[in-house]
Amino acid sequence: MEKLFDLMMSDPEIVLRLSKLLGDGKAAVLCTLIEKEGSGPRNLGAKMLIEPEGNILGSIGGGDMERRLVEESREVLKNGEPKILTFAMGVEPTGNAIPVDSKCGGVVKVFMDVIKPLPRLIIVGSGHIAKPLADLAEKVGFEIIVVDDAETATRERFPTVKELRNGPFGEEMKNLELRSSDYVAIVHGETLYELEALRTALRSRPAYIGLLGSVNKANQHKKQLIGEGFSRETVESICAPIGLHIGAETPEEIAVSIVAELIKKRRSQIRRAF
């Protein structure tokens, strides 16, 4: 049974908590009371935040209604689709209204909106392709993290990325905490770096792993990784060569093909489930 915190928090407090959740890569469901007929425990605009674990911050009325919203939040988080629920609070329910044991004597509607963090794109490499890739991916809604220890991994070159990890490569990869919602684009070009990045990504199983290079190189890397003990199914999830096949040749064109593949992957996942 989820732990319920029935706290009468202010909107700014709820927003701050939501911001913290998003910063940690977690989604949440924001419930807002959007319509009321007759009496109800709260006024229009009352808000309640439901965390992924089922914890509640704020209140829109308490009791059975909030318990039902917590139950419904699982589906909302899974599907990534908003939802409106109607509650009959102590009155005869009509239509699709949900009866609630209450003495309020009114009907309320609650809008459940799933708020999701921006997806992160971890770019391994900082060379010719990494720069336009970071610029384009940021424009379409990715938070960018660049990992490389080359001289090109500088803030001057990547001024707007969320994180620039340019310490010793092995340490940076070891300390990189990948999420299941992350996208990883390996555009480094050097075998040792590519394999280290692939090992790190495969252990965490992010939403997407892409590798720059030829089919032959990709096959050789996959063969080695399977030989190291990674499952064939996991290794075959690597998208290689990275990017959609659009005949790209220049770094900018290759970046476009990669971002197009990222968008395709992202939208297909949103349609299936969050």
Per-residue model confidence as pLDDT tens digits over 119-175: 899 999 999 999 999 999 999 999 999 999 999 999 999 999 999 999 999 999 999
Quick one: pLDDT at residue 139?
A: 95
Closest CA to 109 of 67, 63, 61, 70: 61
State the total domains in the chain: 2
Q: What is the mean pLDDT of residues 248-267?
A: 94
Q: Find out whether 237 and 221 touch, Cβ atoms under 8 Å.
A: no
Residues 29, 89: one domain? yes
Q: Are residues 125 and 49 part of one domain?
A: no
CA separation for the pair 42, 137 (Å, rounded): 42
Looking at the fold, whether 156 and 239 belong to one and the same domain comes out as yes
Q: What is the 3-state secondary structure of 157-200?
A: CCCCCCEEECCCHHHHHHHCCCCCCCEEEECCCCHHHHHHHHHH
Residue 211 confidence (pLDDT) above 80: yes
Q: Are residues 161 and 181 in the same domain?
A: yes
Q: What integer is the mean pLDDT of 105-131? A: 92
Residue 231 has pLDDT above 50, yes or no: yes
For residues 140 and 236, state if they share a domain.
Answer: yes
Q: What band does 9 get if pLDDT is binned at 50, 70 and 90?
A: low
Residue 1 pLDDT exceeds 90: no
Average confidence (pLDDT) over 237-255:
95
List, for residues 22-66, the tens digit of each pLDDT value. 888 888 999 999 988 887 777 888 999 999 988 889 888 778 888
Q: Are residues 142 and 106 part of one domain?
A: no
Cα–Cα distance measured from residue 121 to residue 40, given in angstroms and rounded to the nearest whole number: 45
Contacts of 192 (CB under 8 A, 6+ apart): none
Structural domain ending residue among the three candidates 79, 97, 115:
115
Classified as helix, coil or strand, 27 is coil
CATH number, position 155: 3.40.50.720
